[in-house]
Structure 1
């Protein structure tokens, strides 16, 4: 009976460790995706600033 309890505790600890490791790897994937593909808000601001600069430069050339 004592051995059974010890085995169950080891299995529970191993399961928790596996789940925690999986959660950490998912968070790392999200961070990597954020680094590789910036957020939509950032792209929108970048497009707006480029468009604004283009319009200002175009008006100054006239």
Structure 2
């Protein structure tokens, strides 16, 4: 039986924020999903791909 991943949302995200994602360590990859609809599934990205995505979109607000 596999262990359930721990999904984490940014501390800067408040309950009234509408555009939040959650990340989870899935061993060889990182999971990323919409915090408003976690049951819709998730993307699986390599750590390198996730780092590239963060460089591309830049820092968040605040």
Give the alignment's TM-score, normalised by structure 1: 0.25
Q: Which structure's relative contact order is higher, taking Cα pairs within 8 Å and 6+ residues apart?
A: 2
Give the alignment's TM-score, normalised by structure 2: 0.25
